[in-house]
Amino acid sequence: MRLHKLNSASVASLGEQVGVPAYDRTAVRPGIVHFGVGGFHRAHQAMYLDRLMNEGKALDWGICGVGVLPQDRGMADVMAAQDCLYTLVVKYPDGTLEPRVIGSIVDYLFAPDDPEVVLTRMVDPDTRIVSLTITEGGYHVNQVTGELDASDPGLAADLEPGALPGSAFGFIIEALARRRAAGAPPFTVMSCDNIPGNGHVARKMLTAFARLKDADLADWIEREVRFPNCMVDRITPVTADEDKAALAERFGIEDGWPVVCEPFTQWVLEDDFGAGRPQYEDVGVQLVDDVEPYELMKLRLLNASHQALCYLGYLAGYRYAHEVCQDKLFVDFLLGYMDTEGTPTLPPVPGVDLDRYKHQLIERFANPEVRDTLARLCAESSDRIPKWLLPVVREQLAAGRGIEHAALVVASWARYAEGVDEQGEPIVVVDRLRDKLVERAQHNREDPLLFVSDRDLFGDLVEDERFVRAYTSALASLHEHGARATLEARAG
């Protein structure tokens, strides 16, 4: 099979098995600036826009991607080489691969090279939405107070008088300040990160950051800028070398950074935009007045269940999510968490059969073709557990209901953070708070409450007798018997 390097010139030469843009990309004008162009954004928001464009719509809503981190240089290089094209490969459980070349990203700017070029694009009246997938930690929220943590060096640098911005927050606030000064309307800020009330959080944190620079600007942002909430869902594992090889061998495409994902996708979006939006509802996006029920469903069932399977599964010797979810012992534990602890904390979710949703989650996790690594799910736990699982613990405690499953998940995180698995092999802990977490976890045996006494992460849970009893019992069992035996004892 002839190999085609992916770019604008080669697209027409790809085989019939590969979907390609049916629209003229030279006619697409940028209307969205997006910070954080990773796998998920390209498998989700950019895919929905590509669907719209293939229907001849939204050609004035092209995406200009922006990278602000040093590691974004790699994406900038690939985007430049491929004219911002990339292949999205949907992986079905039976082994079927469905590749499609996505064309909705039409420009990519690496901010450290020229911050002014990024600002010029953001100030341009054609830019009506600035969207974000900057991870949970990118919002600089103090996990206990809920207020802005301005101690981050990047934020501090952006607060220096006369400094050009370097962070996503810095660029957004500077661009809004320039639009305000020019008498131009603001853009809408659309967070697409896995955070409860992501629009509310973006508004609060960005306004607080703006207030450190200019109180009048902060007041204007509070009055004029829209921050819609949304819930996003699609399992998108890290692209592996094997994925690139399969794309080349089976479809003749040489792509420097394809994206792989599961068939399922969902986007529930609050219809609150200040300067228009694409016709998202025409391609399956659910436009609603209140995102919260859907968001809580996803965070407390899907995301929290990922945490429930990843540490226990890793400790037991598994390395992929599908391996864990093909093991009945672990599946029963996951369903037990969802049924008895996660679900009771949820409000009614319009139009959703929760029992079906929960079993569908297990089927999605068990897709062997996605090969989602437990290491990915275990990463950045300090940003995930406090947002996804601990609210369930607190609500269950307040209502006098059970917390045994969730307490075991927290204990399994503490055990994982010790940095050594049950076979004595080293665990590479990936977390922005890695040093602190590992140091505390390594004292788990002699001081089992040290890990959860970190009030920045756990608040006052260490003072709750029911939580302490369940947590210490679970941690002791993990040390004495291991993950599998702990689950077997509970199942018995």
* Nearest-angstrom CA–CA distance, 465 and 110: 50
Statement: 292-491 belongs to CATH 1.10.1040.10: yes
Closest among 247, 250, 152 to 209, alpha carbons compared:
152
Closest among 396, 375, 386 to 315, alpha carbons compared:
375
User: What residues does 4 pair with on adjacent strands?
Assistant: 253
pLDDT at 142: 85
Residue with token string 């900057």: 134
* HEC letters along the chain: CCCEECCCCCHHHCCCCCECCCCCHHHCCEEEEEECCCHHHHHCHHHHHHHHHHCCCCCCCEEEEEECCHHHHHHHHHHHHCCCCEEEEEECCCCCEEEEEECCEEEEEEHHHCHHHHHHHHHCCCCCEEEECCCHHHHCECCCCCCECCCCHHHHHHCCCCCCCCCHHHHHHHHHHHHHHCCCCCCEEEECCCCCCHHHHHHHHHHHHHHHHCHHHHHHHHHHCCCCCEEEECCCCCCCHHHHHHHHHHHCEECCCCEEECCCCEEEEECCCCCCCCCHHHHCCEEECCCHHHHHHHHHHHHHHHHHHHHHHHHCCCCEHHHHCCCHHHHHHHHHHHHHHHHHHCCCCCCCCHHHHHHHHHHHHCCCCCCCEHHHHHCCHHHHHHHHCHHHHHHHHHHCCCCHHHHHHHHHHHHHCCCECCCCCECCCCCCCHHHHHHHHCCCCCCCCCHHHCHHHHCCHHHCHHHHHHHHHHHHHHHHCCHHHHHHHHHC
* Nearest-angstrom CA–CA distance, 240 and 251: 17
Residue with token string 């290089």: 77
- Domain layout of the chain by residue ranges: 4-288, 292-491
Closest among 98, 123, 265 to 192, alpha carbons compared:
265
The answer to whether the beta carbons of residues 346 and 304 sit under 8 Å apart is no
* Nearest-angstrom CA–CA distance, 258 and 98: 12
Which tokens is 401 given? 């209901």
Instruction: Report the side by side order of strands in the sheet with 86-91.
Output: 97-102, 86-91, 259-261
* Nearest-angstrom CA–CA distance, 29 and 34: 14
pLDDT at 491: 86
pLDDT at 196: 85
* Nearest-angstrom CA–CA distance, 437 and 193: 24
Query: Which CATH code fits 4-288?
Result: 3.40.50.720
pLDDT at 245: 96
CA 3, 264, 22: angle at the middle one, nearest 5? 45
* Nearest-angstrom CA–CA distance, 443 and 445: 6
- Taking residue 167's Cβ as centre, other Cβ atoms within 10 Å add up to 23
Per-residue pLDDT of the chain (492 residues; tens, 9 = 90+): 789 999 999 999 998 999 999 999 999 999 999 999 999 999 999 999 999 999 999 999 999 999 999 999 999 999 999 999 999 999 999 999 999 999 999 999 999 999 999 999 999 999 999 999 999 889 999 877 889 998 889 999 999 998 999 999 999 999 999 999 999 999 999 999 988 899 999 999 999 999 999 999 999 999 999 999 999 999 999 999 999 999 999 999 999 999 999 999 999 999 999 999 999 999 999 999 999 999 999 999 999 999 999 999 999 999 999 999 999 999 999 999 999 999 999 999 998 999 999 999 999 999 999 999 999 999 999 989 998 999 999 999 999 999 999 999 999 999 999 999 999 999 999 999 999 999 999 999 999 999 999 999 999 999 999 999 999 999 999 999 999 999 999 987
pLDDT at 144: 74
pLDDT at 240: 94
Which tokens is 408 given? 């075991």
Which tokens is 291 given? 């995102």
**Positive or negative CA dihedral for 297, 298, 302, 305?**
negative
- Residues shown for the chain: 492
- Taking residue 93's Cβ as centre, other Cβ atoms within 10 Å add up to 15
- Contacts (Cβ under 8 Å, ≥6 apart) of 254: 3, 4, 5, 6, 248
pLDDT at 38: 96
* Nearest-angstrom CA–CA distance, 37 and 107: 11
